[in-house]
Structure 1
Amino acid sequence: MHAADWAALHGKMPRLYVPAEFAVGATITLPDGPARHVTRVLRLGERAPLVLFDGNGQEAGVRLADVGRKQTTVTIEAVWPGSGESPLAVHLGQAISKGDRMDYAIQKAVELGVVAITPLYTERGDVRLKGDRAEKKLAHWQAVAASACEQSGRAVVPPIYPPKALNEWLAERQEPLRLMLHLATGNVFSQQPCPASVALLIGPEGGLSDADINAATAGGFTPLTLGPRVLRTETAPVVALTLLQHHFGDV
């Protein structure tokens, strides 16, 4: 099949993240994770079609060439640029939450088109990561982002940056539109001009402290509300990103 034929059908085929160089005619050995998924979960055999994406914007139509115990290889038949990226570049600063809540926030934010996520330590946040635990958690979150790309059709995997203090993240922001969710305000998204890129700040379960709010305001962030009801920290980015994509992006 040609690239256009693969692209038209790729939503009906398994889609896997494989960070590799794609070239028509090349043979690639699948990493252990994708190989196990293909052979043990999907139980596909030789010549079965798949779609791979490299995480940097390229997709490839491939067929299984060798399915063995030691390795699984595929042959690339077509390569094309992915088309699942939003025209709105949103960098999400998400206060770290416990357990599955952070996974959910990252998963949904990636599905909604963010270009980067930075987990944040805020004054009221009660999660602190150090050493090996921080490295393992960061790798886990990056895998959550890659899985969300597999499901949502994105070909670019957004980076999950190492956790940092809120003030450090605020000092790095250059986006022309900077928003933080804060219940006690009447500002809404529709009052904002269309930006080229956005920084979005979401606080922890207890909300941003006065010191956090003052620091963000000093950094050029506009406080916004999502209505009279208090949303959980993993729900807030879903609603906020949906509104941003509706007003300024492709939703």
Structure 2
Amino acid sequence: MRMPRIYTDSPLHEGDTADLDEQAAQHVGRVLRMAPGQELRLFNGDGNDYPATIISASKKNVAVQVGSPEANTTESPLEIVLGQTLSKGDRMDYAVQKAVEVGVTRIIPLTTERCEVKLKGDREDKRIRHWQSVAISAAEQCGRARVPEIGPVMAVNQWLEHTADCDLRLVLHHRTERSLAAIDKPARIALMIGPEGGLSAAEISAAEAAGFLPVALGPRVLRTETAPVAAIALCQWLWGDIGS
């Protein structure tokens, strides 16, 4: 059986007895039903994995003995900030989960002209917490050293300003002939994905005026939840750690 890998936002130090935070404890004690003496691996985003042994466990509280840190080298040298337009149902969950698996650095949910999802107030906070939980689960499963942050929902104009420090900014647009292979190697990428109906002409023009390059991933039109996965995987192949 594969040893469970659990994210915690608590500090971890070799030799310490640590109480897992609420979400991690519930997953270990209630979902996995692990018992004292069983082993797991912890990570908290500091770049290491920590083998640990459970000392006590209930459905809400879990204490562990922390072992020696082991360097985790699964993070790509390529930073990718994804601007993903909000979508209905489980499509957003899929986009978040798979983007984490292929190495995204940060995800910003976007509202665009043709976006059919409207989030405000408590509902927005609840969805962001949910997507952060999806990102945590994906990072645990795929062995990542860090959990990508799900940022606040932004409008297109906010997103364009937010990504000004990226040295390459891309907007997926199937009506262009520019391909990723024709672009020089960047260090930090901003990737903008539209809704099911696509970005409007005005939004594409605004992105281009802000320095975004329109790129196509081939002759076929991809769904909004498929496009970021394909684009990030190609970026990692060209400039990150998949093709190395």
TM-score (norm 2): 0.94
Which of residues 165, 182, 189 in structure 1 aligns to 2:173?
182
Q: Distance in 2 between matches of 1:110 and 1:162?
A: 17
Residue pair 2:80, 2:104 contacting (<8 A) in 1 also: yes
Q: Is the 8 A contact 2:10 2:20 kept in 1?
A: no
**Consecutive unaligned residues in structure 1, runs of 5 or more:** 1-10
Quote how far apart the aligned CAs of 1:78 are. 1.3
Q: How many residues align?
A: 241
Q: Does 1:222 align with 2:213?
A: yes
Aligned match of 2:232: 241
1:122-146 Cα distance to aligned partner (Å, 9 max, x none): 1111111101000100100111111
1:56–1:157: 8 Å Cα contact kept in structure 2? no
Q: Which residue of 2 aligns with 1:162?
A: 152
Backbone CA RMSD of aligned residues: 1.5
- TM-score, with structure 1 as normaliser: 0.92
Deviates more, 1:11-20 or 1:112-121: 11-20
1:63 Cα deviation after fit: 0.2
Identity, % of aligned pairs?
50
> 1:146 maps to what in 2?
136
Residue 45 of structure 1: how far off its partner (Å): 2.4
Aligned position for 1:77: 67
1:108 aligns with 2:95: no
Q: Contact 1:59/1:82 (CA < 8 Å) preserved in 2?
A: yes
1:71 to 1:219, Cα distance in 2 relative to 1, 3 A = same
- Is 2:197 aligned against 1:209? no
Gaps of 5+ in 2: none
User: Against the structure 1 CA distance between its residues 104 and 192, is the aligned structure 2 distance closer, same or farther, given a 3 Å change threshold?
Assistant: same
Instruction: Choose which of 122, 126, 129 in structure 2 pairs with 1:136.
Output: 126
* Equivalent position SS for 2:150: coil
SS at match of 2:170: strand
Counterpart pick for 1:46 among 36, 40, 45: 36
Q: Does 1:172 align with 2:162?
A: yes
Q: Does 1:127 align with 2:110?
A: no
Stretch moving more, 146-155 or 23-32: 23-32
Offset at residue 69 of structure 1 (A): 5.7
Which one-letter code corresponds to 2:133 in the other structure? Answer: A
Change over 3 Å in CA distance of 1:232–1:68 after alignment to 2:
closer
Q: Do 1:138 and 1:162's aligned partners in 2 also have CA atoms closer than 8 Å?
A: yes
Deviations 1:39-75 (A, max 9, x none): 3443332221110111342321100111246632100
1:140-176 per-residue CA deviation (whole Å, 9 max, x = no partner) reads: 0111111110011012111110001011110122211
Are residues 26 and 185 of structure 1, via their aligned partners in 2, closer, same or farther at CA, if it must alter by over 3 Å?
A: same
- Look up the SS of the partner of 1:133 in the other structure: helix
Match of 2:53 in 1: 63
| Aligned residue type for 2:189 | V
Q: Which amino acid aligns with 1:42?
A: L
